[in-house]
Amino acid sequence: MQDSLSVNMNEYLPLRDVVFNTLRQAILKGELKPGERLMEIQLAQRLGVSRTPIREAIRKLELEGLVVMIPRKGAEVAKITEKSMQDVLEVRRALEGLAIQLACGRITKEEIAELEAKGKKFAEVVQTKDLVLMAEADEAFHAVIYNATQNDRLIYILNNLREQMYRYRLEYIKDDTIHPVILKEHEEIIRTVKKRDEDESYHAICTHIDNQEEAIRKYIKALK
């Protein structure tokens, strides 16, 4: 476990939510590793809180699939498996396919300019090799498409799914050879959205997600 693990207090949130967000981000960013046991007493001491919010956070993380309960061992960070990855990406493919088709008909000139700006920003961040910044820049790029749908319910669902995607997104961008591919895929997404071509845009986003799935599958198999 990382010594840097600490609670960032937020006066607007109950302590249980602060603890949950802290542990969640630690898992998503790899500070708490897949397979690592989550000991309530140890976590409470490290975060300077009682065991109650730790226990509540672990239960919520289990519901999200980020934590699993092992008989006679307790809670541990869920491992990245082909099944869990496929489950998330199947949902992402369906929802982002719908999102980009809706966006083609509803996106404004200002949002197209923003999409282009986010694409350029991602290209700039790639040069830094900072994985967290790259993941955040990639999320920001896709968020423009989500918002362009003007469908509040779809945006809400996609934003929740985005959190579950974070750990897979980080694993994907660790491979430097993938970066030029992502840049080209972003360019293709921008091109097809600017044309407002629903079919081409759908194909572009599905190709983008399919390539990510293949890359992560190779990573998972390499761990075996």
Mean pLDDT score of the chain: 90
Domain 82-223 carries which CATH code? 1.20.120.530
pLDDT score of 65: 79
pLDDT band at 162 (very low <50, low <70, confident <90, very high): confident
pLDDT score of 8: 63
pLDDT digit string, tens, across residues 115-137: 999 999 999 999 998 988 999 99
Every domain of the chain and the residues it spans: 15-77, 82-223
Measured CA to CA, the distance from residue 89 to residue 83 in angstroms comes to 10
Q: Kindly give, in sequence order, each residue whose CB lies less than 8 Å from that of residue 8, ignoring residues fewer than 6 positions away.
A: 18, 22
pLDDT digit string, tens, across residues 82-115: 888 899 899 999 999 999 999 999 999 999 999 9
pLDDT digit string, tens, across residues 28-75: 777 898 899 999 999 999 999 999 999 999 999 998 878 999 998 899
Domain 15-77 carries which CATH code? 1.10.10.10
pLDDT band at 11 (very low <50, low <70, confident <90, very high): low
pLDDT score of 9: 61
Local structure of 67: helix, strand or coil: strand
